[in-house]
Structure 1
């Protein structure tokens, strides 16, 4: 199976490189389980299984995974960063380690990308910008950023995608897709984590982040959402200069969120910044349903008058109205310690997966019991969400993909607020938003809207009933009506029945050979044929005995 999967020659070199790095960091067993070594050897590529890295072997598994991902390049670094958001799948120690992932890549020499810049602009650089700094002031795995100035004096930053990065990422994604299929096929215990779906989600997320025009559209939407909020500033995007591989945006002049001493020196009020930052992100999540998925200090700029500036909108999260209502119900249940409401939301998130509802209910009760004697102001939302995700993981549930970024964003947000203001209490900012959303849910206009929708849905069901019945009868008359019954262990029972019938058949055949051979042995001139019959009967008996012994039944 693996050889067929990796028969595309163009990916073999990259596969060989990936396998070598995994072996280097002590993950040779994983390479063997997936059969990568066999596939490469068939292609004439030899792996060095016994490389000496004694210092690496002594490291913790989470550290070895992080180092391997960093060496594997930008696609795998992004994969590790995505896994760092899966607090429902990985234990805290692994999350902390994966959060350290960085891409150690030097910037691309401007001479190598100048032609692409000119092509995107449709004119020489000197005709588009009054000044352009050829040396980037920031570089990452997928893009690098240069400062420039427009002819009207506006200071801008120019984000340029690394040349050729899309082809390398596509190759890595193909290999990851193959890995996911193999894991799902060969490792039954891993199927509940839906590796194929996870890689598919990762592909969509990475392709969006790679498309700078999409990031520009994200920024335009956030700008519109905060048009009436003077405390939040989203950089203006100059769409006339923006393409899939280049984006020009306003440069925010302020203090980086990573430099708190500079923020204090600039006379900024850190407690106000913490409050405004929290309100901005909570508004994105609970009001707009469209939020910055990575609000860490490096993506925040503190501006004059205690305003919040946000940058890097390559990774954003989206929530449907239905999912937002579920989230509000969960947060309301957590803050009010409502076991039944919390259990109901978690059961809705289980989907079609099997779950021990009694155990889940007991774990929910235990979790909330730990907060019985705490006042609301002392509740740490980040800690509570971590405990919820631990509960989800311990009950073999999988958090919906659209909520993993959200949980991570809320946890990061509370940490950022506490860095700015040790007295910051996330729950005090969260509670008013939850209360407003619940209040709005029962306003006459909202009730009328839901009522109209319910009536419309009910009418469509009733109106479509004759058509559905007619279709059902038509299929029945044509003999194409089929009823699928999914009975547990039916396939296994069928296999057992098939094996049993085979043994019975061989037993009857053996008995017939013994009787027939006995008769033939009494006839002169046919004794040799009788001997052959006895030999066949003996071999059949051996087959039946070995088959029964190997099956353990």
Structure 2
């Protein structure tokens, strides 16, 4: 099965690598069910399905993380995307996937020089006054070097790894085919929406490969904080930046993980926690364009209790309507309005969600019970991340999933509160969020916002009215010509009709097969030119036709039973 799905020989070697890693970490059964064992067999490899003792003792989530690490950069990125889907995976899986580190052995500078020269339009030593050829960091998609401009400013060069795009595209093709096979043959995994997740991941990864897009995201967020001196976003030097190279200001600060250095330099932890929270809340609830991965590795602390954000490869977007829904949801959680919370969650569910038939009454009851436990609790004693995690658990239990933009938002909030509490154990995320929630809700009902929505509605109504005469004219002309058709689709009847159609097809094949068997038996009694075991030509053809029809009938019944 997998061999036919892969099709192109160029991906076979990578398919063998994937199957080998999955087997090594104890996912041999999945390999067999996906048909990947056949792919390896065709390549002449011998499979040993035993799992090493050290892997057998690991929990499934830990084995999955180790397997993703061994599969390389594309799969590490996939794991990082999956770590944002708190609505799909249990907390132990999210915790394990969050440990995936985007690191890789550095490529020698000589292997990067030709590409760097092509992107700069001149030799690196000419473009910069100084260039340190030892990388500051090496990740799966890029390496970072430090340099000095001729005017004395220090910058960093984020260089895409040479030849990484073909590898990523091959992995994405394989992942797309794997997702299709999983959807078709592993119904127990449908709730994880493999094809939708892979589509979302492919879009995200291709965007990360485009460093110019990352630069535009950084510049957009930098413009939003133009009047906030306490938030620093590095400037992009566009004269050298492009798809494969991003040149930006160097940030000399304390990495977010080094809390000991924060204390040693006398920075105010509480002030840092508040400013970081205010920055992320402004990005999400006011600007609608936010850094989707604000973990300590992407944050630096600067003198004067300032905060710098870097790495805008993963960003999220929230429309004005979505921001109002988020504010209403969180306000409903804090105020105990379970009806509002349940209605918003039902509106958010994915249109392809397997939970589309979720019982609203059951969901309302669970939300009501959940919200009731927080009634009367002061804001400073609320854990916003804990509330969101419990809420997402209810979604999982009801087999509901969130749109990708909201999953990113919830993950960002959870990461933000974790960072804030590391800086200040008394950090009050709910209290910090309350003013932004109020401003978002007030702004949605402001005269300007109402006028803007009213104008859009009026313009839409006007377009509808002005086009109505023409639409009616076309409708009447179609009716006069006898070409007017009305189609009504009733899904239960359609499914019933499909089942009858399949049953009739099987009955027909069964009758034809039986007729062939009887006809063959009669022909066998007539002397003819023997071909095989004394059978005549017509007898042999009839026998083969009966066998083919019977096999098709058995396979069709088996496939229907699976469905």
Quick one: structure 1 residues 478 and 176, their matched pair in 2 at CA, closer, same or farther if it must change by over 3 Å?
A: farther
Kept in 2: contact 1:418–1:424 (CA 8 A)? yes
Pair 1:444-2:447 in alignment: yes
Kept in 2: contact 1:37–1:47 (CA 8 A)? no
Quick one: structure 1 residues 317 and 506, their matched pair in 2 at CA, closer, same or farther if it must change by over 3 Å?
A: closer
How far did 1:490 drift?
A: 3.6
Quick one: structure 1 residues 2 and 504, their matched pair in 2 at CA, closer, same or farther if it must change by over 3 Å?
A: closer
SS in 1 for 2:304: helix
Quick one: structure 1 residues 484 and 13, their matched pair in 2 at CA, closer, same or farther if it must change by over 3 Å?
A: farther
Q: Which range moves more in the overlay, 389-398 or 64-73?
A: 389-398
1:362 to 354, 362, 365: 365
Kept in 2: contact 1:87–1:404 (CA 8 A)? yes
Partner of 1:21: 21
Cα distance in structure 2, aligned partners of 1:473 and 1:177: 46
Quick one: structure 1 residues 192 and 456, their matched pair in 2 at CA, closer, same or farther if it must change by over 3 Å?
A: farther
Partner of 1:396: 399
Per-residue displacement from partner, 1:389-425 (whole Å, max 9, x unpaired)? 1111111111111111111000000010111111110
Partner of 1:481: 485
Pair 1:458-2:461 in alignment: yes
Q: What TM-score do the two structures reach when normalised by structure 2?
A: 0.87
Q: How does 1:463-542 map to 2 (within 5 A)?
A: 463-476=466-479, 477-479=481-483, 481-488=485-492, 490-492=494-496, 494-496=498-500, 499=503
1:382 to 369, 381, 385: 385
SS in 2 for 1:239: coil
Partner of 1:125: 124
Cα distance in structure 1, aligned partners of 2:341 and 2:118: 54
Partner of 2:423: 420
Cα distance in structure 2, aligned partners of 1:23 and 1:505: 41
Quick one: structure 1 residues 494 and 155, their matched pair in 2 at CA, closer, same or farther if it must change by over 3 Å?
A: closer
Quick one: structure 1 residues 102 and 505, their matched pair in 2 at CA, closer, same or farther if it must change by over 3 Å?
A: closer
Partner of 2:528: none
Gaps of 5+ in 1: 511-538
Quick one: structure 1 residues 37 and 153, their matched pair in 2 at CA, closer, same or farther if it must change by over 3 Å?
A: same
SS in 1 for 2:208: helix
SS in 1 for 2:140: coil
Q: Which range moves more in the overlay, 244-253 or 32-41?
A: 32-41
Kept in 1: contact 2:334–2:375 (CA 8 A)? no
How far did 1:39 drift?
A: 3.6
Per-residue displacement from partner, 1:499-543 (whole Å, max 9, x unpaired)? 379769989x99xxxxxxxxxxxxxxxxxxxxxxxxxxxx9xxx9
Partner of 2:197: 198
Pair 1:217-2:216 in alignment: yes
Quick one: structure 1 residues 494 and 376, their matched pair in 2 at CA, closer, same or farther if it must change by over 3 Å?
A: same
Kept in 2: contact 1:148–1:155 (CA 8 A)? yes
Kept in 2: contact 1:135–1:146 (CA 8 A)? yes
Partner of 1:86: 85
Q: What TM-score do the two structures reach when normalised by structure 1?
A: 0.88
Gaps of 5+ in 2: 515-545
SS in 2 for 1:241: coil
Cα distance in structure 1, aligned partners of 2:73 and 2:105: 13
Cα distance in structure 2, aligned partners of 1:173 and 1:273: 40
Q: Which range moves more in the overlay, 137-146 or 87-96?
A: 137-146
How far did 1:461 drift?
A: 2.6
Kept in 2: contact 1:285–1:291 (CA 8 A)? yes
Per-residue displacement from partner, 1:146-192 (whole Å, max 9, x unpaired)? 11111111111111111111111110000001011111222334344
Cα distance in structure 2, aligned partners of 1:54 and 1:303: 47
Kept in 2: contact 1:295–1:412 (CA 8 A)? yes
Quick one: structure 1 residues 153 and 439, their matched pair in 2 at CA, closer, same or farther if it must change by over 3 Å?
A: same
Aligned-CA RMSD value? 2.7
**Largest Rg, 1 or 2:** 1
Kept in 1: contact 2:329–2:341 (CA 8 A)? yes
Equivalenced residues, count: 520
